[in-house]
Structure 1
């Protein structure tokens, strides 16, 4: 009752004796999030712009997520800190509506981008051709513009119901005036959207497990497994995408070759190798360990090496033998070598990083959503509402930390940026020492 009377007297106040002490905790927490999130997300964008190794099609989605977080940390978070410090909204009703719209715009773009990241990771291992078409230059521009347009179209109609909410000391949409539209939006983005992301990561996990089992079943010889993979001309987008896609293709090809066990399969593999090299290598070279046996030995034995040895081996000619002849190895041979050397580890590491970003988003928002669904009458302690709302702030600054910990190229790019930023300070210190001496 007291809270209701206070809200009626001053609709932009969240003052309460219960949060007198907690507001300083929220202010410190908000300042840390604003500084860390601004620096981290800005470094992510600069690393993408300055480092050519990071300018890949997949990392465009990472940058889109960083821009959404940068919008919150740079523009919205300082205003939230001010409202907690004074326990009052001091920016006026118009900016309160702008704040509410930008808040949900940032959060919804983050959810849409997380969905796009999960779908792109799945297409890399399941439908590489579809990924190549979607991730073309104009395809990426269309996807990015659509993510922001969809978010704006979703929460723009709520302009008239964005108000100051004393329970969380910030501006959001009214809890009852926007229903049932607000309920549908929250269900679509936070339940269906995040569930959609979880389903695709589960499909990725199954696909990778199936590919790994097939590789263990049809692994080439130890000699070929010790060889380093030849880098692809197209690159891997720093995600192991090319390797994983070719691994899956290699598994399916090897399975069909092993199931047929026919002379035609051996001849087909042989013709692929010879067609790519421009000259037809002898079948004896394929059946043997990579070198052509002496003609005298064949003559003395009176027989040619059986063609079944080629078909049953299920492997391509060694890369050294093909390289020495000046020819290009067939694509299946490269795929087998990639699979044997475990080069798909980079794809798994990047996928784990993206899944960690998704888990952090869920961890930050689920307590706040559950509390609002369970406490419709507003009987829960005010500090609990503020604590769960402040936990959502963490989502906007934690992603650059995950990139630095779980991605080698982002970590190296961050180190270069920090060293460049610290270079003027390092130069200034010896100059001052020289002047004093």
Structure 2
């Protein structure tokens, strides 16, 4: 007779199976269809979701008939496939945790992108599946797989070849788990040691930002030293302009005043004789000499004006160069600020992603490690304890999509978008 404990377990398993299948399918569809999620860093999550779906179908879904009908046994091929696929998918899940931990370690601790390239990433994921498939295949081919009444599932059971059972578990479960644990411990120590350094760098950046930005004027392009040079150039320019006007006022009227005086003093021409002719020639010579002087003075005035104009143009050019340099400095400062903002956003996204992956590893540890220990000492574990361990192991697949949606905004929005599309398809607007 089936007691209430069995019905409770079956109900919990039904909820876990439903949540796992829906959540993992939503994760795969969101990563596949949403452009913002179609990144290499999310590929291990999609592959892990595929492993969780397969484990749910061939694991907890086949446990329920055994719990409700104790005398029922799966067909031979299905039993063998279940007994073989369960440890394979178990090893695949742990290996995925190792790949994700290695990626986070090289990204956070070494700033290296070697494990984020498409070729390396897909090679690692391919090996996570291949190694687990090959590791358990010889043992399941040689040994007999049958339904274990104690564990309520098909497995190798208590085989005499303990070493042959331990080696594939050591390769696919223990080594990847220890590697992932070491990576996350290293990441934690690295973050803790660099925390003070990050705070000091942020304080230095903020002080540099204030030093560069606040001394500027309203335009924000000229500093104190530049202002001093600008004021000096403006004073020199005004002095040059004043000097040019002053020199023009003194020189120009002098030539204009001497002209009328020479015309007024010019004697009337008497009858021409030798003496008068000589005097006339002398006066003409003096007049030509005076006109030459006037021409020289006017040419010197023109040269002076040209020099003043050149100086004025040079001062204006200096002002223009200073303004252009200030604008260039503004653009450089804006680019630096944009780069700093992008770097801050990228670092925040990386920290959030690392927290999510660390949470996944913690959830896996809490759900799957009890079963791992029970399998190693299966002869000393009662059936009730092993049943609780199996339920916890099945719960891991249901919690992963919840962690994705809770700690990743893009995945959460992808879930909402898919649900809205499904609801609109089921209930079309009239």
What TM-score results when the alignment is normalised by the length of structure 2?
A: 0.68
Q: How far 1:96 moved relative to its partner?
A: 1.0
- State how 1:113-132 maps to structure 2 within 5 Å: 113-129=96-112, 131=113
Q: Does 1:166 align with 2:166?
A: no
- State how 1:19-418 maps to structure 2 within 5 Å: 20-129=3-112, 131=113, 133-160=114-141, 161=143, 162-219=145-202, 220-222=204-206, 291-293=221-223, 295=226, 297-298=228-229, 324-325=330-331, 329=335, 336-337=340-341, 344-374=347-377, 376-377=379-380, 380=382, 382-418=383-419
Q: Structure 1: which 5+ residue stretches go unaligned?
A: 1-16, 227-283, 303-319, 432-437
Q: How far 1:391 moved relative to its partner?
A: 1.9
Moved more, 88-97 or 108-117: 88-97
Alpha carbons 1:88, 1:169 under 8 Å: kept? no
For the residue of structure 2 that corresponds to 1:174, the secondary structure is: coil
For the residue of structure 1 that corresponds to 2:80, the secondary structure is: helix
**Aligned equivalents of 2:327, 2:79: Cα separation in 1:** 70
From the superposition, tell whether residues 357 and 321 of structure 1 become closer, same or farther in structure 2 (CA, over 3 Å). Answer: farther
From the superposition, tell whether residues 285 and 370 of structure 1 become closer, same or farther in structure 2 (CA, over 3 Å). Answer: closer
* 1:258-291 Cα distance to aligned partner (Å, 9 max, x none): xxxxxxxxxxxxxxxxxxxxxxxxxx98996563
**Aligned equivalents of 1:103, 1:57: Cα separation in 2:** 27
**Aligned equivalents of 2:229, 2:415: Cα separation in 1:** 61
Q: Structure 2: which 5+ residue stretches go unaligned?
A: 234-325
Q: Does 1:426 align with 2:357?
A: no
Alpha carbons 1:68, 1:106 under 8 Å: kept? yes
Residue in structure 1 matched with residue 238 of structure 2 by the alignment: none
Q: How far 1:23 moved relative to its partner?
A: 2.3
For the residue of structure 1 that corresponds to 2:158, the secondary structure is: coil
* 1:368-387 Cα distance to aligned partner (Å, 9 max, x none): 23334455255x3x322222
Root mean square deviation of aligned Cα: 3.2
For the residue of structure 1 that corresponds to 2:222, the secondary structure is: coil
Residue in structure 1 matched with residue 307 of structure 2 by the alignment: none
From the superposition, tell whether residues 107 and 329 of structure 1 become closer, same or farther in structure 2 (CA, over 3 Å). Answer: same
* 1:165-191 Cα distance to aligned partner (Å, 9 max, x none): 211100122222342121233334443
For the residue of structure 2 that corresponds to 1:171, the secondary structure is: strand
**Aligned equivalents of 2:374, 2:115: Cα separation in 1:** 39
* 1:328-361 Cα distance to aligned partner (Å, 9 max, x none): 846xx7665556x576332222211111111111
Aligned residues: 331
* Structure number with higher helix proportion: 2
Q: How far 1:46 moved relative to its partner?
A: 0.2
* Higher radius of gyration, 1 or 2: 2
Residue in structure 1 matched with residue 296 of structure 2 by the alignment: none
* 1:71-94 Cα distance to aligned partner (Å, 9 max, x none): 112344322222222124432222
* 1:106-143 Cα distance to aligned partner (Å, 9 max, x none): 111110000000010111123344x2x43323222222
Alpha carbons 1:47, 1:410 under 8 Å: kept? yes
Residue in structure 2 matched with residue 314 of structure 1 by the alignment: none
Alpha carbons 2:132, 2:172 under 8 Å: kept? no
